[in-house]
Amino acid sequence: MLASADHSNQLVAKGMTSDLFAWPQNRLLKLLHTRFPRDVAEREFEITRALHTAGLPAPAAYELHEVDNRFGFILERIDGISLLQFVERKPWKLFYAARLLAELHAQVHQYAAPLALPSQRSQLERWLANARDFTSADRRAAEASLAQLPNGEILCHGDMHPANILLSSRGPVIIDWSTATRGQASADVARTSVLFESAHLPPGSPIYMRLLLALARRLLHRTYLRRYLALSGASLSDVTKFLPIQRAATSAWRSSLPG
Average of pLDDT values for 49-68?
91
Read off the pLDDT band of 205 (50, 70, 90).
confident
User: What is 80-256's CATH topology?
Assistant: Aminoglycoside 3'-phosphotransferase; Chain: A, domain 2 (3.90.1200)
pLDDT above 80: residue 199: no
Domain 3-76 and domain 80-256 have a common topology: no
- End-to-end CA distance of the chain, in Å? 32
Q: Are 101 and 108 in contact (CB under 8 A)?
A: no
* 96-147 per-position pLDDT tens digit: 999 999 999 999 999 999 888 889 999 999 888 887 777 888 889 999 999 9
In angstroms, the CA 252 to CA 166 distance is 27
State the burial class of residue 87 (Cβ atoms within 10 Å of its Cβ: 0-12, 13-18, 19+): buried
- The domain 3-76 is placed in CATH, from the list 3.30.1490, 3.30.200, 1.20.1630, 3.40.50, at 3.30.200
Across the beta sheet with 18-23, the strand order is 3-4, 61-67, 70-76, 27-32, 18-23, 11-14
Q: Are 172 and 59 in contact (CB under 8 A)?
A: no
State the burial class of residue 34 (Cβ atoms within 10 Å of its Cβ: 0-12, 13-18, 19+): exposed
pLDDT of residue 99: 97
Rounded to the nearest 10 degrees, what angle do helices 185-198 and 94-108 cross at?
150
pLDDT of residue 64: 95
In angstroms, the CA 208 to CA 223 distance is 20
Secondary structure string (H, E, C) spanning 72-104: EEEEECCCEEEHHHHHHHCHHHHHHHHHHHHHH
pLDDT above 80: residue 236: yes
Q: Where are the domains of the chain?
A: 3-76, 80-256
* 139-171 per-position pLDDT tens digit: 899 999 999 999 999 999 999 999 999 999 989
* 70-93 per-position pLDDT tens digit: 999 999 999 999 999 899 899 999
In angstroms, the CA 142 to CA 125 distance is 10
Distant-in-sequence, close-in-space partners of 96: CB < 8 Å, separation ≥ 6: none
* 5-36 per-position pLDDT tens digit: 454 579 888 877 889 999 999 999 999 999 88
In angstroms, the CA 192 to CA 101 distance is 10
pLDDT above 60: residue 2: no
